[in-house]
């Protein structure tokens, strides 16, 4: 079976890691390709075939031409879209080509109409069932054992860890403000439009010695950061995780 995963973003974060891990596992018994933004190609597993794309807008004629040509040439059995933009773009061409369309909704969305045209919809948490009147397949986000920390909440570890896109909805600003009462170090891994504001906030609160932000982390370094952390903190306003 030939599977194409389609994910568009300017940054490699949770959804992209989800796609990477899923594609690696599927590639053990299938031919798997990933269409993704050229900017984040380097973060995916080197053994996967990556088709580089621009982060097209939903109304881009270039995106339609690119997708039509790519999917016609590759002839996949399944095209698996991740997020509303890629689902919308595939919806625009699916009637001209023959393939099965699987769409995963990775979070709680107010408008899910774009997903209803897919042949199969997957939600990563039970909370998405109400959005589709239970007409959805729930496959909860998995735990990758390579990040396992044998000594959970070990006080001898170096820091607390928080990971995610640096966006307003992730509440990193609230986490930083709350950390003023803590003596432990906090390491934030991520990139995004809020990075400059968060760095300024850390500076204004004189917490530079206790809080740091890093990005551009490869999978091996990420594994080490998990293993050396006392605990993982999720401050996000909403997530598509379990529940």
Q: Is 234 helix (H, G, I), strand (E, B) or coil?
A: coil
Could you tell me which of 218, 226, 235 has the C-alpha nearest to residue 157?
226
Beta-carbon contacts of residue 42 (< 8 Å; ≥ 6 apart): none
CATH topology of domain 2-138: Rossmann fold (3.40.50)
Beta-carbon contacts of residue 203 (< 8 Å; ≥ 6 apart): none
Would you state the pLDDT for residue 242? 46
Length of the chain: 243
Superfamily covering domain 147-232: Glycogen Phosphorylase B; (3.40.50.2000)
pLDDT in tens, 2-35: 999 999 988 888 889 899 999 999 999 999 999 9
Task: Indicate where the chain has its CATH 3.40.50.2000 domain(s).
Answer: 2-138, 147-232
This prediction has a pTM of 0.77
């Amino acid at each position: 079976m030939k599977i194409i995963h389609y994910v568009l973003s300017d940054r490699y974060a949770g959804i992209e890691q989800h796609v990477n891990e899923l594609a690696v596992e599927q590639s053990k018994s299938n031919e798997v390709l990933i269409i993704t933004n050229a900017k984040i190609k380097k973060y995916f597993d080197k053994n996967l075939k990556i088709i580089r794309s621009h982060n097209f807008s939903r109304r881009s004629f270039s995106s339609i031409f690119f997708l039509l040509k790519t999917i016609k040439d590759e002839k996949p059995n399944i095209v698996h879209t991740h997020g509303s933009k890629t689902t919308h773009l595939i919806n625009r061409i699916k009637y001209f080509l023959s393939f099965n369309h699987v769409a995963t909704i990775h979070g709680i969305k107010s408008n899910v109409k774009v997903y209803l045209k897919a042949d199969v919809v997957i939600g990563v948490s039970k909370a998405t069932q109400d959005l589709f009147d239970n007409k959805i397949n729930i496959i909860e986000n998995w735990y990758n054992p390579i990040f396992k920390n044998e000594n959970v909440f070990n006080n001898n570890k170096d820091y607390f860890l928080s990971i995610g896109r640096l966006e307003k909805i992730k509440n990193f600003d609230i986490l930083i403000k709350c950390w003023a009462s803590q003596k432990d170090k906090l390491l934030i891994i991520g990139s995004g439009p809020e990075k400059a504001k968060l760095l300024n906030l850390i500076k204004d609160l004189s917490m530079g010695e206790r809080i740091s932000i890093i990005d551009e982390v490869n999978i091996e370094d990420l594994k080490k950061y998990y293993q050396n952390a006392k605990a993982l903190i999720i401050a996000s306003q909403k997530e598509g995780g379990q529940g």
